[in-house]
Copies of this chain bind each other. A is one copy, B any other.
Amino acid sequence: MITPSPSRRRGRPVDERARAERRAHILAAARRRFLSSGFHGASTADISREAGVSVANLYQYFASKEELVLAMVEEDLQSDLAFFADLFRGADFLACVEAALAALAHAGRERRELGLRAEIFAEALRNPRVHEALATSQERLVAALSERVSAAQARGEIALADGMTARDVGILLFALADGIYSAGGLDLLDGARAARRTRLLLGRALAPGR
């Protein structure tokens, strides 16, 4: 913040591109370590070892461990938005919902990211900055889902009950996605089956012309 812009600094100019790349490299290493040991279980030494740099160097790119989490929340948001954008490209809204929920349950079962998300969630409840980042992220995801609901409604594909808004359905879909993703991680449910059944239920609830 106080740092002058590169052009006004003396000496060798900073290679902003190299900085961004190394930063991403360290963040990816942190993600891998947090994934297998949890946020509090992975030390800065673990992370820097994984990234192949020194601990002190890590602190040249992230002011604290907290910064790593905040950067990850932002990454997750972009990844989630892409996930939904990809799955909701099809025309059939309910088929898209089914595919999305099945993919989520499957992702939960593989636990590649589930533990990390739980860790971030828990951290959000104690750390105001993480909380704000995560709440903003969730709000944007709900908005994206609501848009898809609106579009399907405009196409006449689904109909909402009196007093239901597209946002209401978006929130419910978000909550359901969250729950199914989590339940998958505990081997509680068969993801494909859960998604198919969800579609049946939602189909009866949202299909128009009845």
Q: Which of A151-210 contact B (CB under 8 A)?
A: 161-164, 168-169, 171-172, 174-180, 182-183, 185-189, 193-194, 197-198, 200-206, 210
Q: Check B126 against A188 for contact (C-beta < 8 Å).
A: no
Q: Given A114-B125, A176-B179, A200 and B38 touching (CB < 8 A)?
A: no
Q: Check B37 against A40 for contact (C-beta < 8 Å).
A: no
**Does residue A41 face the partner (Cβ distance < 8 Å to B)?**
yes
**Does residue A99 face the partner (Cβ distance < 8 Å to B)?**
no
Name the B residues within 8 Å of A114 (CB-CB).
Answer: 125
**Does residue A111 face the partner (Cβ distance < 8 Å to B)?**
yes
**Does residue A134 face the partner (Cβ distance < 8 Å to B)?**
yes
Q: Which of A113-130 contact B (CB under 8 A)?
A: 114-115, 118-119, 121-126
Interface size class of A (residues with CB under 8 A): 35 or more
Q: Given A41-B126, A194-B172, A135 and B186 touching (CB < 8 A)?
A: yes
- Rounded to whole Å, the gap between the CB of A154 and the closest CB of chain B is 19
| Cβ-neighbour of A40 out of B41, B176, B186, B204 (below 8 A) | B41
Give Cα A202–Cα B204 distance, bound, in whole angstroms: 9
